[in-house]
A and B are shown apart, each in its own frame.
Chain A
C-alpha cells in the first residue's frame, strides 16, 4: 500500500517548530568547548533524524540536502548563538482556513488547503544554554 514518494518522506518526520529539539554536547561543566566542537554539536543537531525535519510556523516542512550541498554555519563571537544556512527541499503547506464544521473536521484529519515542493534554503538560529545547543527559530527563503 501506499505511496513512498518524496512527499510521504517529507511528511513522515515532521516536528513542530519550537519543539525544543536539542542534543547534549556531552561536556561536563568544567570543559570549555572549542568552536570546532560547537560546530560539530550544531551539525549533529542538524543531522539528527528527529531534528532533520522541522515545520516553520506549521506551514513548511523541509529536508536538508546536506548530501549534495554543504551547510554554512556562523558562530557568534561569544559562542552562545549561531546561524546555519542549509539548502533544502521544502514542502510548503497552506493551512485550511475557515471555521465551518467541515473545515474544522478536515483540519483534525490533517488536511491542508495546498501543498507544494520548493527548492530553497533555510536559515536556522541556534543558541546555547548550559552547554546545550537548541534550535531557536527557522526561516525559509525560496530559491
Chain B
C-alpha cells in the first residue's frame, strides 16, 4: 500500500487561482527546456528530420531533432523555432513532448516508427475563454466564467496523420476506440506516484489518486482513447474544472507499461511538466453496453461536463427563503409520481398506518417517535417533546420486512430531513439525516448517519451491541441504474470507487459511456446484500441521494433531498439495476480482503 497524503481539500474544493494570460506565460517559462523526468529521454530521434502531415485542417510540422533534448520546428512553413523536448519509447511508439517557448502552446506527438502513422496533440493554455464564447454563441446563452476564464486549463486539439517519408500516403490512421472501455488499471509511476485509473466511458475516465490525494475521492476527466493496435493505446485526459492539467500516455497492454507526460499548473501555480514511465496491473474489466461491432471509431466531439461553472451558488437568504417557504415532500401528500428518478419505484407501504414507531439512535443521534396517521401522512416528535408535528412521508419495503421511509423535519434554517430504515426481523434501525448547506455552499446538503434500534407493535427485541454499520463490501462494484423505461432511457452506471466516494456515468445514445462525474459517497450494510448508499452531489447539484440497494432484487428504494431556486424537495428514487462488473481494488485502498 502506498504512503497516503490526505488533503484538507479535495480537487473540487481547491480554489485554483484565476490566472491571467501573462501569469500563465510566466509560469510556463521553465517548460521551454522541455519536460523533466526520471526516465532517460529516448535518443532515437536525435539527428533526424521528420515531417508530419495531419488530416483535415491540421498542422504540417517539420521537425529537426538536433539532439535528444533539443529540436527545431517549422509550423506551416513559418520561421524555425527552437525548443527543448523529451521523448519516451515503447516498442516502436514514440511519445514526444515540447512547448513553443514564449507562447502558451506546445505539441505532444505519438509517432509510430513502424507504420509511419502519427497522432498529434496541440496543447494550448489560455484557450478556454474563446472556446466557451463560441459554445455560448452557438447555444444562445451567456458565456459562463464563474471561476475565471480558466487560462490555467489546457485545451487540446487532436489530429491523426502520418510521417511524410516521401512515399505513398498511408491508408490507415490511428483511431478513436472503445477497446479500453470497462478496464481498470493500477499504475505505479517511476516518480512513486500511484494512481488507479478506470476507463468507464469512451470520452471520460476516473482517476483515483492514491499518492497525491490519499485515495479518498475519485474524480473524472474528459478523455481521449486512441487505438494504435490491439495492445497499444493512446490515452489523454484534461482535469477540467480542477487544475486543468493535461495527461497523455501510451499504454501497452502486453507488458502493462505506460509512457506518459503531464503538463499543467499546480495549485501553487507552478509548472508541472514531466515525463514518466509506469508499471500497471489490471484491476478488472467490466461490461460495456454498445452493440457488437460498434468500436467507437466515429466517437464524435468530446463533451465536457462543467458543473463548477454551471452550478449556481445561492445566498443564505435565498436558501432560507426556499427551505422555509417553498418546501415540498412527495407532492405534499399527493404522491411523488413516477417522473425522474422514481420511474421504477416499488409499491408504497401502508401497513403501518394507525401504528406507532419509536426509533432510538445511539449516543447523541436522533430519538424520534412516530404515529403513522394515514397513507402518506405521519406525526413525529423528538423523544421527550410534548408537541407533535405533521409531515408527509413515503415508505417502501426494499427487502422482506425491511422498511425505508423519509420525511421533512422542522421548518427551520438550515432544514433537515430524516430517512429511516428499520428491520422488523431484528429491531435494528439506521437514520440518515440530511441537512441543507455545507461549509462551501448553502444549496448543497450534508448527510449524517446514525445507527440504533427501534420499537413498534410486533417488533423483535433489538440486539444490545450489534448494529447496522459501515461497509466496504460494495467497493469496486459497477451497477447500472435504469430510472425510466427506454434504451438507454434515463440510465446511469454507478461505480462505487472507494468507501467514501462514487462516480456516475451517463450512457450515450449508442450505449457507450459518455460524460461522468463523481461525489463523496458512504455505504452502510443492513443485511447481507442489502446496503444503504448515500451521496452528495457536491459542487454539482448539491443533492443528497440515499438509496437502499437490494442486490438480490437488483432494485432500490430511496430518496432525493435537494434545495435550489425551485424550492426544497424530498422525492422518491426507484430504479432497476444490472450488475456491470467489479474492480478488484480493495487491496490498493488499504481495505482488508
* B-binding residues in A (CB < 8 A): 1-3, 96-106, 108-111, 113-114
B294 touches A2 (CB 8 A): yes
Q: Given A1-B295, A97-B339, A98-B340, are A106 and B490 also a contact pair (CB < 8 Å)?
A: yes
Smallest CB gap from A3: residue in B: B291
A110 touches B541 (CB 8 A): no
B341 in contact (CB, < 8 A):
yes
Within 8 Å by CB of A109, from B339, B483, B507, B537, lies B507
Which A residues lie within 8 Å of B546 (CB)?
none
Which A residues lie within 8 Å of B298 (CB)?
1
Which B residues lie within 8 Å of A108 (CB)?
303, 305, 506, 515
Smallest CB gap from A11: residue in B: B509
The 7 closest A-B pairs by CB, nearest first: A101-B541, A98-B340, A1-B294, A105-B506, A109-B514, A1-B293, A109-B506
Which B residues lie within 8 Å of A2 (CB)?
293-294, 510
Which A residues lie within 8 Å of B560 (CB)?
100
Determine the distance from Cα of A97 to Cα of B488 in the docked complex, in whole angstroms.
16
Smallest CB gap from B542: residue in A: A101
B514 touches A104 (CB 8 A): no
A100 touches B295 (CB 8 A): no
A105 touches B305 (CB 8 A): yes
Say how far B496's CB is from chain A's closest CB, in angstroms.
Answer: 17
Determine the distance from Cα of A114 to Cα of B566 in the docked complex, in whole angstroms.
25
Within 8 Å by CB of B340, from A1, A3, A103, lies A103
Determine the distance from Cα of A99 to Cα of B560 in the docked complex, in whole angstroms.
12
A110 touches B340 (CB 8 A): no
Query: Which residues in chain B, 489-517, are within 8 Å of chain A measured between CB atoms?
Result: 489-490, 492, 504, 506-510, 514-515, 517
- Fill in one digit per residue for B279-323: 1 if any A CB lies within 8 Å of its CB, else 0: 000000000000101110110000101010000000000000000
Determine the distance from Cα of A26 to Cα of B528 in the docked complex, in whole angstroms.
75
A110 touches B483 (CB 8 A): no
B430 in contact (CB, < 8 A):
no
Say how far A115's CB is from chain B's closest CB, in angstroms.
Answer: 9
Most chain A beta-carbon neighbours within 10 Å: one of B295, B307, B490, B517: B490
A104 touches B541 (CB 8 A): yes
B509 touches A110 (CB 8 A): yes
Instruction: Supply 9 A–B pairs (Cβ within 8 Å), ascending by A.
Output: A1-B294, A1-B298, A96-B490, A101-B537, A102-B340, A102-B490, A106-B490, A108-B305, A113-B486
B303 touches A101 (CB 8 A): no
- Fill in one digit per residue for B316-360: 1 if any A CB lies within 8 Å of its CB, else 0: 000000000000000000000001110000000000000000000
Determine the distance from Cα of A106 to Cα of B515 in the docked complex, in whole angstroms.
9
Determine the distance from Cα of A97 to Cα of B338 in the docked complex, in whole angstroms.
12
A101 touches B294 (CB 8 A): no
Determine the distance from Cα of A114 to Cα of B489 in the docked complex, in whole angstroms.
8
Say how far B179's CB is from chain A's closest CB, in angstroms.
Answer: 13
Say how far A6's CB is from chain B's closest CB, in angstroms.
Answer: 16
Query: Which residues in chain B, 468-488, are within 8 Å of chain A measured between CB atoms?
Result: 483-484, 486, 488
Which B residues lie within 8 Å of A111 (CB)?
488-490, 509
Say how far B326's CB is from chain A's closest CB, in angstroms.
Answer: 14
Within 8 Å by CB of B492, from A99, A102, A114, lies A102
A99 touches B294 (CB 8 A): no
Which B residues lie within 8 Å of A1 (CB)?
291, 293-295, 297-298
Smallest CB gap from B485: residue in A: A114
Determine the distance from Cα of A108 to Cα of B508 in the docked complex, in whole angstroms.
9
Determine the distance from Cα of A101 to Cα of B489 in the docked complex, in whole angstroms.
15
Which A residues lie within 8 Å of B305 (CB)?
105, 108
B408 in contact (CB, < 8 A):
no
Determine the distance from Cα of A1 to Cα of B490 in the docked complex, in whole angstroms.
23
Most chain B beta-carbon neighbours within 10 Å: one of A1, A98, A101, A103: A101
Say how far B357's CB is from chain A's closest CB, in angstroms.
Answer: 30
User: A109-B506, A113-B490, A114-B486 provided; 8 other pairs, C-beta below 8 A?
Assistant: A1-B291, A96-B490, A99-B566, A100-B562, A101-B504, A102-B506, A105-B515, A109-B514
